[in-house]
Amino acid sequence: MNLIFLLPLDVLLPVSSDKSWMHTPEALAKHYIPYNAKFLGNTEVEAPKGTEVVKDAVRKLKFQRHIKKSEGQKIPKVELQISIYGVKILDPKTKDVQHNCQLHRISFCADDKTDKRIFTFICKDSESNKHLCYVFDSEKCAEEITLTIGQAFDLAYKKFLESGGKDVETRKQIGGLQKRIQELETENAELKKQLQELEEQLMIAHVPPAGSVSVKLQSTDVFDMVPFSTVTPLVPSRASNGCPPPPPTSLPPDMSKDLFGAEPFDPFTCGAADFPPDIQSKLDEMQEGFKMGLTMEGTVFSLDPLDGRC
């Protein structure tokens, strides 16, 4: 029976009711689950998901291993360490890390239903951003390893949300608001300076020469405008027939700006937050990876078994 999981989900349940996660959350969150396997290698693929994508990758790597076997080379053994922090591929003797695949970069994971030893996953490379398909041979644990990666992904996604990952967009908006406030404060300071200079010029212009008779004119404000009169009605007056006047067909052009000629502040049109590029890119990458989810599938990679088993 094929197993298909689509992550992330609010409530994650295997499609097959007789399957459940293999380990306790603490085992994957505080430690790691080790597995031994043979590593056929990895190869670049064109898509982050898809059965046909991994089938082609497995065939390609199997063919390469047949050639290397004819040259006397054995399939190298590796140790897999699976946790909520990723899937590490190590040398079993020296414990040197050969590959470190972060879970939010893993988009597809599957085991072979005809060749029970083969399993694979697709991971986006952190440096080249290419999608690489990793293929392994495990004598007894192919399906269990696939399920463990799925469980680790689910736990990592939930931990990401609990630690504030769901607020990445909110933090961006807050950062945008803060940036816009700084811009408005700068504009306000500049406008105050211009206003002060204008008031000084108006005071100089209105000083009458000595001995002249001043003529009292209607008072104006600092912009030479007649001040607003409270007698002016604040609500639209009704027409002579008792019906309210029709609404204006369009707003005056100056309504799009405030008193000082500045564009009105709209918190929903702010740009992205000005976070440090390294931190912001990591948050965006994790959010994008977890949004894509992990597809787990049991499928048939090829009809020919892998030679050279031990």
pLDDT in tens, 202-225: 888 766 666 655 555 555 555 555
What is the spatial order of strands in the sheet that 295-299 belongs to?
Answer: 4-6, 295-299, 106-112, 118-124, 131-137, 33-45, 77-83, 86-90, 97-101
Residue 247 has pLDDT above 50, yes or no: yes
- Among candidates 272, 274, 281, which has minimal Cα distance to 126? 281
Token code pair at residue 159 = 């931990």
Cα-based torsion angle of the residue sequence 137, 141, 146, 148 in order, rounded to the nearest 10 degrees: -140
Q: How far apart are CA 242 and CA 254, in angstroms?
A: 30
pLDDT score recorded for residue 105? 92
Q: Residue 69: which pLDDT band, with cuts at 50, 70 and 90?
A: confident
What's the pLDDT score for residue 13?
Answer: 34
C-beta of residue 22 within 8 angstroms of C-beta of residue 154? no
3-state SS, residue 105: helix
User: Which pLDDT band holds residue 7 (cuts at 50, 70, 90)?
Assistant: very low
**pLDDT (mean) for 248-261:** 49
- The predicted structure's pLDDT at residue 239: 46
- For residues 5 and 128, the model is more confident at 128
* Predicted model pTM: 0.57
| Closest of 199, 160, 180, 202 to residue 287, by C-alpha | 160
Residue 171 banded pLDDT, cuts 50, 70, 90: low
Contact 135, 38 (CB under 8 A): no
Answer yes or no: is pLDDT of 75 > 50.
yes
Distances (CA, A) of 278 to 32, 38, 76: 27, 35, 35
CA distance 99 to 81: 11
A 10 A CB-CB count for 48 gives 18
Handedness of CA 9, 13, 14, 19 (dihedral sign): positive
Distance of alpha carbon 19 from alpha carbon 146, whole angstroms: 12
Q: Report pLDDT for 198.
A: 86
Residue 184 pLDDT: 86
Distances (CA, A) of 104 to 36, 146, 150, 198, 254: 23, 15, 11, 58, 49
Nearest to 276 by CA among 268, 284, 288: 284
In terms of phi and psi (left: phi > 0; alpha: psi -120 to 50; beta: otherwise), the region of 202 is: alpha
Cβ pair 263, 256 in contact under 8 A: yes
Which of 73, 52, 77 has its CA nearest to residue 64?
A: 73
DSSP 158: H
Q: Which residue has better confidence, 114 or 213? A: 114
**Residue 10: phi, psi to the nearest 5?**
-65, -45
25-164 folds as: PH-domain like (2.30.29)
3-state DSSP percent of the chain in helix, strand and coil, to 5: 35, 20, 45
Integer CA distances (angstroms), 11 to 42, 54, 155, 296, in order? 32, 27, 12, 16
Residue type present at position 121: F
Residues 206-222 as b or e (16 or more Cβ within 10 Å = b): eeeeeeeeeeeeeeeee
pLDDT band at 268 (very low <50, low <70, confident <90, very high): very low
pLDDT tens digit string along 21-51? 789 999 999 999 999 999 999 999 999 999 8
